[in-house]
């Protein structure tokens, strides 16, 4: 059900992108918009993992560097039926973790130094299982496509503002202004909805992989408290562009701002995990 919902939302994003392209340049504009999206998605598919790992100054770990962490990931990957991913550690003090890579055969799991200090071994295994669930569900690909299409929509909307979309076909200036405001807003909301859907799925999958939903629930409680106290220590732009990849949002949002959060409310994630316990008994 989560996959179907994500696909429907991706179709909505694509339709919005093509619609803006059509408004700017008719059928030719729609084709150009589609080509832009395909090029951006291709680049994201092949190189996003390297870009993200470099942003976070990640260092690859081998078994001899961190035998306990490496062994736990190896065990969880076997539980999930996945190949062993590459393992990275990043220097950030904020406790967090993410997975990246274009498919299960080219995946990487990264943890911050902060999360290694904060969580117990069982709690960390819950987090690692969550990240492996993202890999298994191919959420990295889905999220990358959503992010690149949303970015393309924003750029096209700004292009319309500066160059007067549809001017040669009697374009209405008010319609252009409305599109500039509403199209990026709609794209952002759809992208965030996709991200939240995938987070719920990874929580459920991670609980099944590690065998105990409470381990992940306890980890999320600690991460929620710490992420608001400790900054991520990368640029704001990098934090914003990669926030959907992290297990806990590095950007605090209250009230209206929470609408644009890449993550569901932590309280609801914890409630769902705790509700799984009776079902697994």
Question: Which pTM does this prediction carry?
Answer: 0.80
CA distance 267 to 61: 33
Residue 259 has pLDDT above 60, yes or no: no
Return the higher-pLDDT residue of 188 and 112: 112
Mean pLDDT of 236-260: 70
Tokens of 22: 């059509």
Residue 70 has pLDDT above 90, yes or no: yes
Where does the pLDDT of residue 161 fall: very low under 50, low under 70, confident under 90, or very high at 90 and above? Answer: low
Mean pLDDT of 238-259: 71
Looking at every residue in the chain, the average pLDDT score rounds to: 82
Which of 123, 131, 199, 224 is an active site residue? 131
Residue 138 has pLDDT above 60, yes or no: yes
98-107, 117-126, 209-218: range with lowest mean pLDDT: 98-107
Using DSSP, how many helices (H) and how many strands (E) does the chain show?
9, 4
In this prediction, residue 1 carries a pLDDT of: 52
* DSSP annotation of 111: E
Residue 97 has pLDDT above 90, yes or no: yes
Which runs of E-coded beta strand occur in the chain?
A: 59-61, 86-90, 97-100, 108-112
Tokens of 135: 């890999």
Residue 29 has pLDDT above 90, yes or no: no
How many CB atoms sit inside 10 A of residue 117's CB? 10
For the question of residue 131 being annotated catalytic, the response is yes
In this prediction, residue 125 carries a pLDDT of: 98
Mean pLDDT of 172-185: 71
Contact 24, 160 (CB under 8 A): yes
The tally of domains found in the chain comes to 1
If 0-12 CB within 10 Å is exposed, 13-18 middle and 19+ buried, where does residue 271 land?
A: exposed
* Phi-psi sector, 191: left (phi>0), alpha (psi -120 to 50), beta: alpha
Listed ranges 1-10, 116-125, 175-184; the one with the highest mean pLDDT: 116-125
Share of the chain above pLDDT 90, in %: 45
In this prediction, residue 82 carries a pLDDT of: 97
176-180, 191-195, 242-246: range with lowest mean pLDDT: 176-180
In this prediction, residue 200 carries a pLDDT of: 94
Query: What is the domain extent for residue 31?
Result: 2-280
Return the higher-pLDDT residue of 90 and 140: 90
């Amino acid at each position: 059900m989560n996959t179907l919902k994500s696909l429907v939302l991706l179709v909505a994003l694509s339709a919005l992108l093509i619609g803006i392209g059509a408004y700017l340049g008719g059928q030719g504009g729609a084709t150009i918009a589609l080509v832009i999206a395909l090029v951006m998605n291709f680049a994201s598919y092949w190189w996003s993992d390297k870009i993200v790992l470099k942003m976070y100054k990640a260092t690859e770990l081998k078994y001899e560097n961190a035998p306990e962490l490496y062994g736990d990931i190896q065990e969880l990957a076997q539980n999930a039926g996945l190949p062993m991913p590459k393992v990275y550690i990043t220097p950030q003090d904020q406790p967090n973790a993410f997975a990246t890579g274009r498919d299960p055969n080219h995946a990487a799991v990264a943890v911050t130094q902060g999360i290694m200090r904060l969580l117990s071994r069982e709690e960390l295994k819950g987090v690692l299982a969550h990240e492996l669930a993202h890999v298994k569900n191919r959420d990295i690909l889905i999220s990358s496509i959503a992010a690149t299409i949303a970015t393309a929509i924003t750029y096209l909307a700004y292009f319309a503002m500066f160059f007067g979309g549809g001017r040669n076909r009697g374009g209405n200036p008010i319609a252009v202004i409305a599109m500039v405001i509403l199209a990026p807003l709609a794209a952002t909301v759809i992208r965030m909805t996709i991200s939240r859907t995938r987070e719920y799925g990874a929580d459920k999958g991670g609980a099944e992989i590690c065998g105990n939903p409470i381990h992940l629930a306890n980890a999320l409680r600690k991460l929620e408290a710490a992420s608001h106290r400790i900054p991520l220590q990368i640029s704001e732009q990098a934090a914003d562009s990669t926030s959907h990849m992290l297990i806990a949002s590095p950007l605090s949002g209250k009230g209206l701002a929470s609408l644009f959060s890449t993550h569901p409310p932590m309280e609801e994630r914890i409630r769902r995990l705790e509700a799984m316990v009776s079902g697994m008994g």
